[in-house]
Chain A
Amino acid sequence: MTRKEFIDYLVEIILKVMLIISSISLLLIIGFLFNKALPFLSKPEATTFFTKVQWNPKGNEFGILGLLIGTFTTTFGALLLALPISIFASIYIAEYASPKLAKVVYSSTRILSMIPSVVIGFLGLVIIVPLIRNSANGNYTGESMLAGIIVLAIMVTPVMVGVTVSALKNVPYSYKEASFGLGANKIQTIFKTVLPSARNGILAGAILAFSKAIGEATAMLMVIGTTANLDLANFSIFNPINSLTTTIAKSISEAPIGPEQDSLFAIAFILLIITLITNIVIHKISRKG
């Protein structure tokens, strides 16, 4: 083997090793988490995991229903809030704004995405929480589901806008030309031709936003109050709440080894499964587009 060939061979092997490391990481994560979650999930307590509302590991209560409700209400609430604004703002960027203004709006979302979640959480804590505390009728601390919803909505907007603007710009001009040619005005063209055509991209964006919102931990820890137990009798968006991520983040590093720690790993595994399913869905949708 010549020297050149030997170096080529060496380089290819080194790069291949790096590829292998990257490729099996996902499997390792799934495997390790599953392994850590198994001791808990295979116990009889596990059957009440999904049906009980109370999460009180020290008191031997392991229901994550309250946490699931917390996670999904904040996530869907955030999407409900962020989607319309993001889509409309994206239409503004792609169809209405002058190039300068479009750049300003778009760059604003880029800047927003750079701000770390602790800082957003901090602002949520010092602005939004007091706002809720003072505006809501009743004895509320302000740390609430609503605060979580607002904070998450802010955090997913950049992703949503980025993907939607991309999808809108990818709609062939000929579609719009045809629509105008048929006598439609701008709004009709946008809502009846462009948006439907960009539907897949927008959907992918929404699911990406969902995925980001579901996994957010730090900002949520700072604004939703993290009381473990959901009071279903007094359900209100002004009430504090707990989510899957906050429960894990708060307790896992200090949890004593045993059922308590195992149950937290089980929660993490559930969250991982949700994330994987979401990613598969995104993958399938992007294929269709």
Chain B
Amino acid sequence: MKNNNKISHLILEYLIKLSGYAIILIVAVILGNIFYRGLFYQNQFIFSLNDVLDTSPEGMLTALINTLKMTFVAVLIGFPIGLGTAIYLIEYKIKNRQIKTIINFSITTLGGIPSIIYGVFGLAVFGIYFKFGLSFITGALTMALMMIPITITSVKEELIAVPSTYREASFGLGASKSQTIFKVVLPSAVRGIINSFLLSISRILGESAALLVTVNAASRTLSLYIYGIRGNEELSLERFYALIGQSAMMLTILIIIIVYIAQMIEKKRSKK
């Protein structure tokens, strides 16, 4: 009886450790493939600045520029709304308990909605109702909406992290509410807010589903470009692998850079 137990325990421990290593292995294989396939196809070096810096309407650089443009607009509209909402939720009191619960539930659920649904909503509202059709602005507004719950959740945490003593001291010195918010709380939380900002950007850089249904061919972002290669039947097998490999690698690198910058900022903060 005792021996049986020991064997099954050993097996479980083995499986546990195996799972840990498996995760590392899988992620390594994934990252390795992204970079390998961005540079090589069947042992031939395929990375080409001609492909990457292609500024023709169907080219990779155009797609990248569209991604940056759209992200910029989405963030311009979505981040302030999310930031303002988070500030109100943390710094002001909502007296009615039920309304407070409904608001919090509403925002949390908003964050859990799949991006394709945001896309369908964007299509229905901005595309059809406001008659923008499939366009840059439809896509950008849809992404702005997506940014809101992401922003609220992370900024809330940063604001909560500001010690209440800071606020008390500020009020004690006679500052008004808005002075306290803008001259004490926000500056104290600014590193964290920038971190949230960059992380939410990194998430919408890779967005595809919502844009698939709201954007026209001219405003195609990098993620849509990657997706579109698959449907392009004129490409030879080599060109297919070359283009899709390079673009996937470039998109991944872009996201990694943003996340890396965010982490650098985060690290500097804890050094304080």
Which A residues contact B (CB, under 8 angstroms)?
4-5, 7-8, 10-12, 14-19, 21-29, 32-33, 36, 84-85, 88-89, 91-93, 95-97, 101, 104-105, 108-109, 111-112, 114-123, 125-127, 154, 157, 161, 185-188, 191, 208, 211-212, 214-218, 221-222, 245, 248-249, 252-253, 265, 268, 271-272, 275-276, 278-280, 282-283
Q: List 19 A-B contacts (CB under 8 A).
A: A7-B178, A21-B85, A29-B113, A29-B117, A89-B23, A92-B20, A108-B27, A114-B255, A115-B30, A188-B9, A191-B12, A208-B112, A211-B112, A214-B114, A245-B209, A248-B213, A249-B116, A249-B209, A252-B213
Task: Contacts A29-B113, A252-B213 given; indicate if A88 touches B19 (C-beta within 8 A).
Answer: yes
B164 at the A interface (CB under 8 A): no
Task: Contacts A89-B19, A105-B24, A122-B226 given; indicate if A12 touches B92 (C-beta within 8 A).
Answer: yes
Asked if residues B212 and A253 are in contact (CB atoms below 8 Å), the reply is yes
Task: Contacts A88-B15, A245-B116 given; indicate if A15 touches B107 (C-beta within 8 A).
Answer: no
CA distance A96 to B19 in the complex (A): 12
B264 at the A interface (CB under 8 A): no
Asked if residues A119 and B88 are in contact (CB atoms below 8 Å), the reply is no
Distance to closest chain A CB from B169 (angstroms):
18
- Pair count A-B, CB < 8 A: 253
B3 at the A interface (CB under 8 A): no
Give which listed residue, A21, A101, A111, A276, contacts B31 with CB less than 8 A. A111
Give which listed residue, A22, A211, A265, contacts B148 with CB less than 8 A. A22
Asked if residues A118 and B206 are in contact (CB atoms below 8 Å), the reply is yes
Residues of A within 8 A of B227 (CB): 118, 121, 218, 221-222
Distance to closest chain B CB from A80 (angstroms):
15
Q: What is the number of residues of chain B that contact chain A, defined by CB distance less than 8 Å? A: 85
Proximity bits, B163-180, A CB within 8 Å = 1, else 0: 000000000000011110
CA distance A91 to B121 in the complex (A): 40
Proximity bits, B75-117, A CB within 8 Å = 1, else 0: 0000011111101110010000000001101111110111111
Closest to A84 in B: B19
Asked if residues B230 and A117 are in contact (CB atoms below 8 Å), the reply is no
Residues of A within 8 A of B15 (CB): 88
Asked if residues B108 and A279 are in contact (CB atoms below 8 Å), the reply is yes
Task: Contacts A105-B23, A191-B12 given; indicate if A215 touches B115 (C-beta within 8 A).
Answer: yes
Asked if residues B206 and A116 are in contact (CB atoms below 8 Å), the reply is yes
CA distance A26 to B22 in the complex (A): 39
Distance to closest chain A CB from B80 (angstroms):
7
Asked if residues A18 and B85 are in contact (CB atoms below 8 Å), the reply is yes
Residues of A within 8 A of B113 (CB): 26, 29, 215, 272, 275
Closest to A93 in B: B20
CA distance A283 to B116 in the complex (A): 22
B16 at the A interface (CB under 8 A): yes
B58 at the A interface (CB under 8 A): no
B189 at the A interface (CB under 8 A): no
Q: Nearest 3 pairs between A and B by C-beta?
A: A215-B114, A116-B206, A18-B84
Distance to closest chain B CB from A185 (angstroms):
7
Residues of B within 8 A of A282 (CB): 112
Asked if residues B17 and A96 are in contact (CB atoms below 8 Å), the reply is yes
B1 at the A interface (CB under 8 A): no
CA distance A125 to B241 in the complex (A): 11
Distance to closest chain B CB from A196 (angstroms):
15
Asked if residues B12 and A19 are in contact (CB atoms below 8 Å), the reply is no
Residues of A within 8 A of B9 (CB): 185, 187-188
Task: Contacts A19-B103, A105-B23, A125-B230 given; indicate if A11 touches B115 (C-beta within 8 A).
Answer: no
Given A19-B85, A88-B16, A112-B26, 12 more A-B residue pairs with CB atoms under 8 Å apart are A15-B92, A18-B84, A19-B88, A25-B106, A36-B124, A108-B23, A111-B27, A114-B256, A115-B206, A122-B244, A186-B13, A275-B112
Residues of A within 8 A of B92 (CB): 12, 15
Task: Contacts A12-B92, A33-B120 given; indicate if A25 touches B110 (C-beta within 8 A).
Answer: yes
CA distance A199 to B202 in the complex (A): 32
B158 at the A interface (CB under 8 A): no
Asked if residues B208 and A109 are in contact (CB atoms below 8 Å), the reply is no
CA distance A91 to B129 in the complex (A): 50
Closest to B208 in A: A218
Distance to closest chain A CB from B211 (angstroms):
10
CA distance A108 to B22 in the complex (A): 11
